[in-house]
Each structure stands twice: as C-alpha cells, then as structure tokens.
Amino acid sequence: MRLMLTFSLFAALAAGPVFADCAIPEDAVQIPDGTSATRDEMVAAQKQVVAYDAAVKAYSECLQQEQDTKIAAGGDKAKIQVQYSKLNNAAVEKVQQLADKFNAELKAYKAKSAG
C-alpha cells in the first residue's frame, strides 16, 4: 500500500504542468489591407494562414494525445476533457478569426483588382 502511494505521488509530480508538452502556435500572421496590397503580399499572407492552420491542427492532435495520456493515468476524465476542450476551442477560434479576416481582405483585393 505504501509503495502504491509513493508511486502515485511520483507519477503526479512527474506529470509536471498540466499542458507542458503542447506548445500553442504563434499567431503572428500579418494580413495586409486588401485595398492596397500587392498580389505577392496576398499570396504570402495566404501561405502564412495555411501554415498557421497546420500548426493549430498539430497542436490539437498534441492536446488529444496529452488528454488521452492523462485519462489513461487515472485522471478525472470529465475535468480533463473540459480543460483540453477549452484549449483546443480557443486555438480553433483564433485560426477561424484569422481565416475570416484574410477572406475579407482577399475579397477587397479582388474587388480592387477587378476595377
């Protein structure tokens, strides 16, 4: 019994911070003003948005793996799922807002280019 308690405490300490392994993607994507941007600027912004989206997908996969590991280790499943869901949803919301902003500027760029 004492050995089990010692092992449990060691496992809890070894786990470290709750979300230590998954690095939040940097969202430093710059979206140019579509009414004044060049084609090259819009293409570069699109590539940055796609790269950020891929980073968020990798982050989501990391969160899922980390969540599964903590649940398998005997953590409170409901509590862990809520915590990881909030982190994932925040990252997905950021990428969606970024994509929406890019699409609005792309529409402005196309309207300028058509004129």
Q: Report the chain (115 residues): mean pLDDT per 10 consecutive residues.
A: 42 44 91 96 97 97 96 95 96 96 97 83
Burial 26-62 (b: 16+ CB within 10 A, else e): eeebebbebeebeeebbeebeebbeebbebbeebbee
* Gap between the Cα atoms of 30 and 56, Å rounded: 17
Per the domain annotation, does 42 fall within a domain? Answer: no
- Structural domain count of the chain: 1
Domain that holds residue 115: 50-115
- The pTM for the full model equals 0.77
Beta carbons of 98 and 52 less than 8 angstroms apart:
yes
Per the domain annotation, does 66 fall within a domain? Answer: yes
